[in-house]
Amino acid sequence: MKASIGRVGLFGKYGDRGGRELLERLYGLLKARALGIVVEAETAAALGMRDVPTCALERIGTEIDLAIVLGGDGTLLGVARTLALHHVPLIGINAGRLGFLADVSTDNIGMIDHILDGHYQTEERFLLSAAIIRDGVPVLTRLALNDVVVNKGELARLIEFETRIDGQLVSGSRADGMIVATPTGSTAYAMSAGGPILHPTLAAIVLVPICPQTLSNRPIVVHSGSRVEIVLVSDQSAHVTFDGQSNFRLQNGDRLHVCRAETPVTLLHPEGRNHYEVLRQKLNWGRRV
């Protein structure tokens, strides 16, 4: 985190009007510390917060030193992708469901005071940079913190594609799709599809096939410096999604290039956070029925 925090940005879940009270409590806590505060514009509009300084999401990264995100992991993913290029650290307050990333409880918002006093753990998570190449020309580039997923379209039938790593053919597959995930995303869709859980500090990418026709087609883990390429080889309906929050229609012959992005995301966690304790709590490991 920057040595001096002068201005804090507040972000909330757009469709959750119940978050206004929590966001106003946060606003008051920060104001009592004489910090500058700016609320992301769509958050303020959705929650009916008037007479507060606001800034559009596209510009807010240049205006703040720290971001506090109230919502679930999905809310934090969207904010993190935008702020990564501005090197703004994030604190997540979990008003969603599992909350692997947003790990400050809404019942303990006072923990923000402790973090601002310097009692926190810093953690860097790398993102994926993805590009779709069509006829040799890039037609779309996106970042993803969790995963980049190629999947079937509207029809319930398999798609056919090739997977290459660093230019070498890994496999030709018929499946519902392929998940390319970071360690952060290994506890999301990739885990549900049977992939391994990776420790957040691993320099690794996991590739998880979705319902492959060949049952021996298993998840594999490669170094994060690898360049993954997925080529659609049949003229079928297929899409690629980024963190499950944006979608693009693929065409026959499209090439999806995925690699580690240059700029990571910095998360601030409460002091004493234990990754394995988080897994036990969120996934109910070892809990008696």
pLDDT 10s digits, 125-145:
999 999 999 999 999 999 999
Instruction: Write the burial class of residue 120 (CB in 10 Å: 0-12 exposed, 13-18 middle, 19+ buried).
Output: buried
CATH class of this structure's domain 128-260: mainly beta
Report pLDDT for 234.
80
Nearest to 32 by CA among 104, 121, 94, 110: 110
Domain with CATH 3.40.50.10330 in the chain: 7-126+264-283
Q: Per the residue annotation, which of 16, 51, 65, 73 is the catalytic one?
A: 73
Report pLDDT for 236.
78
Which residues 6+ apart lie within 8 Å of 103 measured at CB?
92, 94, 269, 270, 273, 278
> Which CATH architecture best describes the domain 7-126+264-283?
3-Layer(aba) Sandwich (3.40)
Is 166 a catalytic site residue?
Answer: no
pTM (2 d.p.): 0.92
Q: Which residue has the tokens 């390429």?
A: 229
Report pLDDT for 110.
86
Report pLDDT for 288.
66
CA distances from 278 to 100, 104, 253, 255 (A): 7, 12, 42, 37
Report pLDDT for 154.
77
For the chain, residues with pLDDT lower than 50 are 1
Domain with CATH 2.60.200.30 in the chain: 128-260
